[in-house]
Amino acid sequence: MQKEMIVNKIPAKTWYRLNMNDATVLWDQDNTYSLSQESIETKENETKEVVITVEDDSSSSEHSYSSKNITITAGKASKITAYVMMKAHQNMAINLTLNTEEDATIKLVEVQLADSDAVIVNTIKGTCSDQSSIEVVHFFMGRGQIFSDSQIDLLGKKSRAAFDVGYIGNSPVAGKAGAKGDSIDINILINHIGKKTESDINVNGALKDGATKTFRGTIDFKTGSSYSVGNEQETVILLGEDVINKTIPIILCAEENVVGNHGGSIGELDDDLLFYFESRGIGREEAENIMARASIERVLRLVDNESVREEITNKLEEIL
């Protein structure tokens, strides 16, 4: 039986009428099929790259809910680059745990390629030791309802977290009765606990007709996180008439010697840019597609693996 599951909670509530304090997912926990667990580790000074494809059974009604846990632990001064390709045909939950030891780096690239009726719940919990970093690159390009809930605790001195997110919220599937536009719900929380820690959150995307997106981003400077810096930036291009864009960029600060910034812009392509495109023979629709593509390609530059790049590029061709 489906039950309500609360996800994407923000650490400081605001007015309830805005419906932005959290999100509710309908999930059948009793009938959730457990996919194989993964654990990836590196030894001291080791460098490793892995590609994990997570795909559920599209034909089985018994397996309409699945979950997978992935744990990634980077040993001292090591580096792991992990690519997680989420190919969900039905409802899928993927839970990632990331831990870095001193001077280590985890780079996680997640590519969401779900079918139109899928519900995806993606959680990331991470901790960083001294001088280590966690870099997360997210592509939300599939269909359905996406709930992405991430928390990184910067425990160690000079540790760092970076999120680069690119998304396209698509229109409802043409000709499908009752179809809805995509719904993308992103929550990112970075806790600055250690001294001289750094965080960067960059979220870029485009919303087509009927698509919905919520972005909750929090930089939390805890007492003791002196000389830390956190930046948060969001750009949303609105390409459809019935879009809903919700944004709540939060900075919480209990420390004097820190710097926190957030900035963002939400809207359609401005007239100057459209004029520039038109002066080069490019019409409005094509210009909008170019800018939507740019929001993904900006993040694509951070992907080194050729086969993963190709898969993202192919998906981009398919949806634009």
Partner 1 sequence: MSEKTYVEDIDRSVYDIKDAEIDNYRIEEGLTPDIVEKISEEKNDPDWMREFRLHSLDVYNKSIMPDWGPSIEGLDMDHIATYVRPNTKMQGSWEDVPKDIKETFERLGIPEAERKSLAGVGAQYDSELVYHNVRADVEAQGVVYTDMESALNGPYADMVKEHFMKLVPPTDHKFAALHGAVWSGGSFVYVPKGVHVSIPLQSYFRLNAKGAGQFEHTLIIVDEGADLHFIEGCSAPKYNVANLHAGCVELYVKKNAKLRYSTIENWSKNMYNLNTKRAIVEEGGTIEWVSGSFGSHVGYLYPSSILVGRGAKMEFTGVTFAGEGQNLDTGAKVVHAAPETTSYMNTRSISKSGGISTFRSSVEVRKNAHKSKAAVSCQSLMLDSQSRSDTIPAMDIRCRDVAVGHEAKIGSISDDAVFYLMSRGMSEEEARALIVSGFADNVSKELPLEYAIEMNNLIRLEMVGSIG
Strands (E) across 61-118 are located at: 65-74, 79-87, 91-100, 105-112
253 part of the interface to partner 1, by CB under 8 A: yes
What DSSP assignment string belongs to 150-168?
Answer: EEEEE-STT-EEEEEEEEE
285 part of the interface to partner 1, by CB under 8 A: no
6 part of the interface to partner 1, by CB under 8 A: no
Which is closer to partner 1, CB of 32 or CB of 226?
A: 226
50 part of the interface to partner 1, by CB under 8 A: no
Site string for partner 1, 210-249 (x = CB under 8 A): -----------x-x--x---------x-xxxxxxxxxxxx
The one-letter code for the residue type at 297 is E
Which is closer to partner 1, CB of 10 or CB of 40?
A: 10
**CA atoms of 166 and 298, how far apart (whole Å):** 8
270 part of the interface to partner 1, by CB under 8 A: yes
Do residues 144 and 120 touch, judged by C-beta distance below 8 A?
yes
278 part of the interface to partner 1, by CB under 8 A: no
What 3-state DSSP class applies to 246? strand
**CA atoms of 216 and 194, how far apart (whole Å):** 23
Of the listed pieces 87-95, 119-127, 146-154, 258-266, which binds partner 1 according to CB under 8 A? 258-266
Q: Pick the binder of partner 1 from 268, 290, 294, 313 (CB under 8 A).
A: 268
Do residues 205 and 166 touch, judged by C-beta distance below 8 A?
yes
263 part of the interface to partner 1, by CB under 8 A: yes
261 part of the interface to partner 1, by CB under 8 A: yes
**Range list of H helices, 214-304:** 271-279, 284-300
286 part of the interface to partner 1, by CB under 8 A: no
301 part of the interface to partner 1, by CB under 8 A: no
268: which residues sit within 8 A by CB, 6+ positions away? Answer: 237, 238, 239
Which is closer to partner 1, CB of 233 or CB of 305?
A: 233
**CA atoms of 291 and 282, how far apart (whole Å):** 12
| Number of residues counted as binding partner 1 (CB under 8 A) | 44
283 part of the interface to partner 1, by CB under 8 A: no
Q: Which residues bind partner 1 (CB under 8 A)?
A: 12-16, 18, 20-21, 221, 223, 226, 236, 238-268, 270
